[in-house]
Structure 1
Amino acid sequence: MSGPNVHEDVASPRRTRDIIAKYGFSFKKSLGQNFLIDQNILEKIVSAAGLDETKGALEIGPGIGALTQQLAEQAGRVAAVEIDNRLIPILRDVLADRSNVHVVHGDVLKLNLGELIEKHFAGLSGVSVVANLPYYVTTPILMKLLEEKLPLERIVVMIQKEVAERMAAKPGGKEYGSLSVAVQYYCEPELVCIVPHTVFIPQPNVDSAVIKLTVRKQPPVDVRDEAHFFRTVQGSFAQRRKTIYNNLTALVGKENRELLGPLLESCGIAPARRGETLSLDEFARLSHALLEAGLPS
């Protein structure tokens, strides 16, 4: 069978189906594989990343290379990490004429990304992660990227719409939670666009969204112990219907509950409030006060 034209954009229904047929590829539901077939959405993703020939793009889960093609046109270098070994020969064929792309076979959650960035992007002025992430590993991947404090300028990812809304949520709404606090501690989030489920093969059950996370050089609040801060945040959201006082009682132990009321008041936080009403600044003050009081969390 003659192969599809390598110079043609991958992101069209016909081209995607041609590639799938040529290689006899079958989708693995366990890997959350959904290939984007809309060129306009790809252009929005790449544009949000602010790439040029002096910058590098780290792509996670390139699939059959639709986004990779577009990144290669804008970035100086692209490293695309793919976990599915069946896709490696497809990617190498599709990207054969892209000398600035390196395909890496591996699990991004297990790779040393600091080393990978150093190896592939040395000498460039900046690196961004740009990816269409599988829904089932979105949060673990993003938290790895942020917690490892990698030298990233931006993270531009297409993820489940509901998760993107939680990342960008402000205090007081039902979407605001520990994920919102964690992401906003490390980044400035901005929703780029909503992506309907109809522009994928196969179609997922829910809509997606593209979110741009601009990585902060410094957190927006002063935190003495990050691990303690995040335990405090998670504890505050443990049961969303409960007050901050009740959730923190479970965190610090009932034997310390009489200390909690005055401690919360000293932070300017009414004990009857719920976790989803607290700002990053209030969580930072609360974590600091708990540490000062020597309370476990």
Structure 2
Amino acid sequence: MDNKVSHLRKTTDVIKKHQFSFKKSLGQNFLVDENILKKIVSAAALTPNSGVIEIGPGAGALTQFLAEQADKVVAFEIDQRLKPILAETLKDKANVKVYYEDILKADLKQVIEKEFTKNDDIMVVANLPYYVTTPILMKLLTDQLPIRGIVVMIQKEVADRLEAKPGEKSYGSLSIAVQYLSDPKVVMTVPKTVFIPQPNVDSSVIRLNIREQKKVNVEDEDFFFKVVRASFAQRRKTLMNNLLNNLFTKEKKEALNNVMSEINIDPKRRGETLSIEEFAKLSDALMKIK
């Protein structure tokens, strides 16, 4: 008998059977569309040698498809109440292991070392809760994990920000942080109607291919990100005003002007118009007056 929970009726049945109630505080929305689940797995380009880290398996709908394509799936689920449901839906999937802990507190390097071999091609695949999307993505990107990439379903608005180019409304410090470390590409838009319960907004599936080398070279990475964050602090303000209000003291105005003049960046521009390469040039130049 088909044990898949990729259909609304099957998901509803298993939820009723275990008297499970959705917690809004955990951002729980279960995907119940087989075609979309298959497309998510397809976007990860898994092979029989692939290892997968899944975040928030829920009732196990995506996990079931991942387990059919990958060598091993290691899932992280924060909600202990899902234990009996996952025990049922994954009972015939011997290549799945579930850790019942918060992914943000997990030592992922240690888990990868323990659960996968050095030859494994590792992907992260997840339907992320909206409320922790950014911290989870930044942890995955900055922990220097041995992963090939990340395929996640997130709020459409956030996906647009990750992929945004200079001058676009969605472009900001998150766009730069993600593009500095990976190459993001939106794979598909997912309507809110294919979830239970339905969220208020549509979602997107985005693939982040991890860069072997960072997009730009900078002298001081921490300072580079301070410059970026300061430049976007108030979007309607000029680069000069934002840097003076959020990174430098007013006494540094003349020095700031001189530095920007030297590297041909107009202080009247807004942060959203600068490319990642220009931010790299700016942060390196500002090192001498910080």
Q: For residue 268 of structure 1, what is the aligned residue in structure 2?
A: 264
**Partner AA of 1:231 in structure 2:** K
Is 1:259 equivalent to 2:238 in the alignment? Answer: no
Q: Of 22, 36, 42, which residue of structure 2 is paired with 1:41?
A: 36
How far does residue 193 in structure 1 lie from its aligned partner after superposition? 0.3
Q: After TM superposition, where is structure 1 displaced by more than 2 Å over at least 4 residues in a row?
A: none
Is 1:13 equivalent to 2:13 in the alignment? Answer: no
Structure 2: distance between partners of 1:124 and 1:197: 38
How far does residue 26 in structure 1 lie from its aligned partner after superposition? 0.2
Is 1:278 equivalent to 2:274 in the alignment? Answer: yes
Contact 1:197 1:203 in 2 (8 A): yes
Give structure 1 stretches of 5+ with no counterpart.
Answer: none
Give structure 2 stretches of 5+ with no counterpart.
Answer: none
How far does residue 261 in structure 1 lie from its aligned partner after superposition? 1.2
Q: For residue 30 of structure 1, what is the aligned residue in structure 2?
A: 25
**Partner AA of 1:271 in structure 2:** P
Is 1:141 equivalent to 2:116 in the alignment? Answer: no
Is 1:192 equivalent to 2:187 in the alignment? Answer: yes
1:131-280 equivalent positions in 2, closer than 5 A: 131-250=126-245, 251-280=247-276
SS in 1 for 2:64: helix
Contact 2:51 2:70 in 1 (8 A): yes
Structure 2: distance between partners of 1:284 and 1:42: 38
Contact 2:37 2:62 in 1 (8 A): yes
Q: For residue 104 of structure 2, what is the aligned residue in structure 1?
A: 109
Structure 2: distance between partners of 1:71 and 1:231: 38
**Partner AA of 1:27 in structure 2:** F
Is 1:288 equivalent to 2:284 in the alignment? Answer: yes
SS in 1 for 2:289: coil
**Partner AA of 2:170 in structure 1:** E
Contact 1:176 1:276 in 2 (8 A): yes
Structure 1: distance between partners of 2:50 and 2:217: 31
Contact 2:234 2:242 in 1 (8 A): yes
The count of aligned residue pairs is 289
Q: Cα deviation per residue 1:185-226 (whole Å; 9 max; x = unaligned)?
A: 000000000000000000000000000000001101111211
SS in 2 for 1:252: coil
Contact 1:55 1:124 in 2 (8 A): no
Structure 2: distance between partners of 1:33 and 1:265: 50
Structure 2: distance between partners of 1:78 and 1:168: 27
User: Kindly tell me: are residues 74 and 217 of structure 1, through their superposed partners in 2, closer, same or farther at Cα, counting changes over 3 Å?
Assistant: same
Structure 2: distance between partners of 1:203 and 1:212: 23
Contact 2:18 2:84 in 1 (8 A): no
How far does residue 267 in structure 1 lie from its aligned partner after superposition? 2.1
Structure 2: distance between partners of 1:115 and 1:93: 28
SS in 1 for 2:185: strand
How far does residue 89 in structure 1 lie from its aligned partner after superposition? 2.1
SS in 2 for 1:15: helix
How far does residue 88 in structure 1 lie from its aligned partner after superposition? 1.7
Is 1:70 equivalent to 2:70 in the alignment? Answer: no
Contact 1:158 1:210 in 2 (8 A): yes
Contact 1:56 1:124 in 2 (8 A): no
Q: Cα deviation per residue 1:113-162 (whole Å; 9 max; x = unaligned)?
A: 11111111124431110000000000000001111111110100000000
Structure 2: distance between partners of 1:202 and 1:189: 28
Give the % identical residues. Answer: 60
Structure 2: distance between partners of 1:262 and 1:221: 23
User: If the length of structure 1 is used for normalisation, what is the TM-score?
Assistant: 0.96
Is 1:125 equivalent to 2:120 in the alignment? Answer: yes
Contact 2:255 2:289 in 1 (8 A): no
How far does residue 294 in structure 1 lie from its aligned partner after superposition? 3.5
Range moving further from structure 2, 84-93 or 199-208: 84-93
